[in-house]
Each structure stands twice: as structure tokens, then as C-alpha cells.
């Protein structure tokens, strides 16, 4: 009799371990997958937490701590608050993107309730809950703080996209209310250096992904001396595509997927950088993928 009970005990804990592992493999209550914030191109948590339609609950998902006009290169504490009278476990994910859909600024966790990951189809940066940050069993609502350092001058408009899960703490995807929200910010131009403004913009490479060549183009607001370089993911200069003085306007150059000695480069991710004569970036680097 005693042995029977023990055996049953072992098999129950064994099943529990398998079930825990399955949950961990999906990394859900321990932090959702990337790219679920309902930002352009992304899905949201109802892909799995599908009991109720999006934003049909009686709760709310709010974003505070960031202004409608952000000051470039400044630290903010973003607070995500999720409330729902029916829920007792909580999760979220957000990303902050420029108008081209690239992550901008730097996100860092404020405490053990949040984490930051990079991934998904667009290689964006995501802030999200940790396992302990779900506050299992806590009624009414929860909030999380994440540090965001805003991007450099000239980035322009940015938008925070967030999804939240007001869950019922049943360790599954059923019975949970999913919410989404977003918050648009403009760059505070008044705080910028007078007359600085965006002096140049570097456009996305075309085609991208490419093989064997792609076109790099940029627009200068005034005539100046620039260099357009291609770098690998380690930050090494592969080749300088153009260096010299140029008038204001749009200029295009071709990169043939070769280094400065004409050697073909391997498949992979590369960065195009537009710099002034002092080697300072005039725009955020652009990404391009060589696929053979």
C-alpha cells in the first residue's frame, strides 16, 4: 500500500516536471516570444492566449513615464500598467520603434521583474516580464518599470507598442485577457542644438537581401564631405564605397559585395554607415544581408 502511494507520487511529480519543461521550452510565463506587441508586422499574444478577442476585457493597459516630446539621448523610466478585475497573473511585452520600424534607444531592465531580449523577424528589442514578474496570485493589476535611453538627435518620431496579458493564473493559455496599446512620441526639437537638425539621411539598401550587388543612397541637406562605408557585424570596415565632397541632394552608389581588394564577401549581415569627415555617423547605420 505504502509503495503504491509512493509510486503514484513519483509519477505525478515526473509529469509535473515534463509539463514545466514544456512551458519553459516555449518560454511563456517566463517571458513571451519576441514580436508579439502588435507593432507593424507583428502579431500579439492572442496567437496562443485565444479565449477572448483582443481588447475585449474590462481592464486597461496604460503607458506612463515618457513624454509626448522626448529629449534625445535622455533616460526615462517607462511604466507599463495592466489592470483587470478578473485577473490574477500578469505579463507584457513592448518595443519602441522609429518610423522605419527599427528599434531605437536603449532598453534596460529596472529590476528582476523585467528582461530585455533582441529577436523576432525584424531583430527588434523587446522588454517583457520575467517569471517572477508575473506576480502570481496578485489581484486587480500590476505594473512594470523599464529604463529607456532615447535615441540620438535626428531620429524623429518614435512609437512604443505594447501587449499585455491579464491572466487567470491557471498555468495555461486559456481564460486570459489580452490588451494592446501604443504611445507616439515626437522628437523635442526645441532642446536640440540650434540649427543642427537632421543633416543627412541614409536610405534602406535596395535590393535587400541582395546578391551580388545592392544600391546605397543618401540625401544631404547641405554640401559636405562624407564617407560611405560597409562594415561587418564585428564592426570591421569591409570597404569604403564613397569618400569625398558632395553637393546637397540625393546620391546613390553600388556595393558589389566585395572588400576594398575586390574579394567577394561571404553571406551575412552588413552595415552601411554614412559619416562626416570627422568619422561621426550622420545617420543610424542601415542593415543589409548578402545571401548566396
Binding site for ligand HEC (CB under 6 A): 23, 26, 28-29, 32-33, 36, 45, 47-49, 89-93, 134, 163, 165, 167-173, 176
* Residue 110 phi, psi dihedral angles, 5° rounding: -95, -30
What CA–CA distance (Å, rounded) separates 272 from 262?
Answer: 17
On the 0-12 / 13-18 / 19+ scale of CB atoms within 10 A, 85 is exposed
**CA 146 to chain centroid:** 13
3-state secondary structure of 68: coil
Complex with ligand HEC: residue 102 or 134, whichever CB lies closer: 134
Complex with ligand HEC: residue 64 or 170, whichever CB lies closer: 170
Complex with ligand HEC: residue 81 or 168, whichever CB lies closer: 168
Cα dihedral 81, 82, 83, 87 sign: negative
**Residues with Cβ < 8 Å from 103, sequence gap 6 or more?**
95, 96, 97, 118, 123, 124, 125
The minimum distance between CB 2 and ligand HEC, in angstroms, equals 34
What CA–CA distance (Å, rounded) separates 93 from 36?
Answer: 7
The minimum distance between CB 142 and ligand HEC, in angstroms, equals 10
The minimum distance between CB 52 and ligand HEC, in angstroms, equals 13
The minimum distance between CB 179 and ligand HEC, in angstroms, equals 9
Residue (of 180, 198, 160) closest to 281 by Cα position: 198
3-state secondary structure of 21: helix
Complex with ligand HEC: residue 4 or 25, whichever CB lies closer: 25
Residues 162, 94 contacting (CB under 8 angstroms): yes
Complex with ligand HEC: residue 143 or 168, whichever CB lies closer: 168
What CA–CA distance (Å, rounded) separates 33 from 52?
Answer: 20
What CA–CA distance (Å, rounded) separates 162 from 140?
Answer: 19
Complex with ligand HEC: residue 136 or 242, whichever CB lies closer: 136
Complex with ligand HEC: residue 23 or 204, whichever CB lies closer: 23
Complex with ligand HEC: residue 36 or 275, whichever CB lies closer: 36
Distances, alpha carbon 189 to alpha carbons 69, 70, 198, in Å: 8, 9, 10
Distances, alpha carbon 16 to alpha carbons 9, 10, 32, in Å: 11, 10, 21
Amino acid at each position: 500500500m505504502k509503495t503504491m502511494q509512493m509510486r503514484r507520487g513519483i509519477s505525478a511529480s515526473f509529469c509535473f516536471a515534463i509539463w514545466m519543461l514544456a512551458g519553459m521550452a516555449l518560454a511563456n510565463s517566463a517571458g513571451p516570444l519576441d514580436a508579439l506587441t502588435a507593432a507593424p508586422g507583428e502579431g500579439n499574444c492572442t496567437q496562443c492566449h485565444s479565449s477572448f478577442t483582443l481588447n475585449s476585457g474590462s481592464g486597461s493597459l496604460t503607458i506612463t513615464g515618457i513624454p509626448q516630446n522626448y529629449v534625445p539621448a535622455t533616460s526615462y523610466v517607462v511604466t507599463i500598467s495592466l489592470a483587470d478585475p478578473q485577473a490574477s497573473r500578469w505579463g507584457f511585452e513592448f518595443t519602441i520603434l522609429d518610423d522605419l520600424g527599427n528599434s531605437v534607444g536603449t532598453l534596460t531592465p529596472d529590476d528582476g521583474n523585467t528582461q530585455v531580449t533582441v529577436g523576432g523577424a525584424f531583430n527588434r528589442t523587446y522588454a517583457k516580464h520575467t517569471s517572477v514578474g508575473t506576480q502570481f496570485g496578485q489581484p486587480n493589476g500590476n505594473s512594470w518599470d523599464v529604463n529607456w535611453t532615447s535615441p540620438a538627435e535626428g531620429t524623429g518620431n518614435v512609437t512604443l507598442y505594447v501587449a499585455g496579458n491579464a491572466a487567470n493564473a491557471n498555468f495555461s493559455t486559456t481564460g486570459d485577457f489580452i490588451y494592446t496599446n501604443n504611445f507616439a512620441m515626437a522628437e523635442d526639437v526645441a532642446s536640440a542644438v540650434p540649427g543642427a537638425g537632421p543633416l543627412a539621411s541614409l536610405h534602406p539598401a535596395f535590393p535587400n537581401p541582395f546578391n551580388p550587388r545592392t544600391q546605397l543612397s543618401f540625401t544631404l541637406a547641405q554640401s559636405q564631405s562624407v564617407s560611405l562605408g560597409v562594415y561587418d557585424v564585428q564592426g570591421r570596415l569591409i570597404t569604403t564605397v564613397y569618400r569625398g565632397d558632395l553637393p546637397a541632394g540625393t546620391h546613390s552608389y553600388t556595393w558589389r559585395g566585395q572588400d576594398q581588394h575586390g574579394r567577394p564577401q561571404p553571406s551575412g549581415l552588413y552595415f552601411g554607415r554614412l559619416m562626416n569627415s570627422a568619422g561621426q555617423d550622420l545617420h543610424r547605420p542601415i542593415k543589409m544581408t548578402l545571401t548566396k
